Amino acid sequence: MTENIKNIAFIGLGKMGKGMAANILKAGFNLTVYNRTRSKTEPLSEQGADVADTPRQAATYADVVITSLYDDESVLDVVLGDNGILSGLKKSGVHVSTSTISPDASRKIYELHREHGSHYVAAPVLGRPDAAAAGQLATFLSGDPDAIELSKKVCESYTKKIYDLGGEDPGKANSVKLSLNYVLASTIELFGQLYSFGEKSGIDPEFMGEMFDLIFSGPIPKAYAKKIRERDFDGEGFALEGGYKDIELILKASYNTRSPLSYANIIRDKLMTALAYGMDQKDWSSIYEISRMNANLK
């Protein structure tokens, strides 16, 4: 594995990939690009990138191959086959996958590269296409330890912050990315439920937005995240018993306005279970202990 990487192949020039590839080119690397729809390579070709006809051709002279693709199947399809990455990548080469794929797929691709003699790094990114174009993504790395260090040299070109999660499990970075996407999806759904509830309760959406800013820009979410992380549910706080009372009020208001607040049912059931375990006076964030029990964690 060479420390003096210069030749980069980039496969997948979708909304995210095109901005990432452009930043790699601006950083001074020799760039070869491949995309199934060839017309998407033209802007980068005009900026000086070479264009390959197949993933194999793109990988042949590359020190690092970066893929930005849709899902498990599309990444595996590009890796395998007569014209896949593995058929062209040299033994010392590194494959960096920026795609949001399953941890199991990353582990499988890691093993495929290990058997081939090359190296694999899971490197999913967090951010929207405008952040990719501006070089402001967050990147999470796991996989081959030496390859992680090498890949950072390229990832820095499109990344604001790199998080090195170590090499013991190539799927770890993918688990982090899925966790963050779950937070975003849950928040989108939560906002949607509450804007609907607010509208049916006669509350102006602009005011609801101000209240969301008040909660999410303040110290409260961070304080609860710390309590849960440290499993510190004693002392001052909002007693679980009071939390159960408030969730019942929320459910009643939801019923009266005919505006479903579905998360409240999940929270009520966990609060009730916690009460059954005698956790009445612990902070209501202690329902985390019920989540741990459900996941068979001690």
Q: How confident is the model at residue 123 (pLDDT cuts 50, 70, 90)?
A: very high
Residues 181 and 144 in one domain: no
Tell me whether residue 239 is in a domain. yes
Residues 195 and 165 in one domain: no
Residues 32 and 130 in one domain: yes
pLDDT of residue 153: 92
pLDDT of residue 2: 55
Pair 100, 186: CB distance under 8 Å:
no
Residues 110 and 194 in one domain: no
In the numeric block, which tokens belong to residue 202?
Answer: 């006669």
pLDDT of residue 167: 83
Average pLDDT of the chain is: 95
Q: What is the pLDDT of residues 185-213, one digit of tens each?
A: 999 999 999 999 999 999 999 999 999 99
Domain count across the chain: 2
Q: Is 190 exposed, middle or buried (0-12, 13-18, 19+ CB in 10 A)?
A: middle
Say which DSSP state 162 is in: E
Tell me whether residue 86 is in a domain. yes
pLDDT of residue 201: 96
Q: What is the mean pLDDT of residues 234-244?
A: 91
Residue 10 CB coordination number (10 Å): 32
pLDDT of residue 34: 97
Q: What is the pLDDT of residues 13-31, one digit of tens each?
A: 999 999 999 999 999 999 9
Catalytic residue selected from 108, 177, 227, 282: 177
Residues 147 and 28 in one domain: yes
Domain interval for residue 242: 176-294
Does the annotation mark 177 as catalytic? Answer: yes
- Helix or strand or coil: residue 95? strand
More confident residue, 153 or 3: 153
Q: Which residue has the tokens 């101000």?
A: 210
Q: What is the mean pLDDT of residues 136-147?
A: 95
What CATH number should be reported for the domain holding residue 90?
Answer: 3.40.50.720
Q: What is the pLDDT of residues 94-108, one digit of tens each?
A: 999 999 999 999 999
Q: How confident is the model at residue 1 (pLDDT cuts 50, 70, 90)?
A: low
Tell me whether residue 2 is in a domain. no
Tell me whether residue 105 is in a domain. yes
Residues 201 and 151 in one domain: no
φ, ψ for residue 132 (rounded to 5)? -65, -45
pTM: 0.91
d(CA 167, CA 109): 14
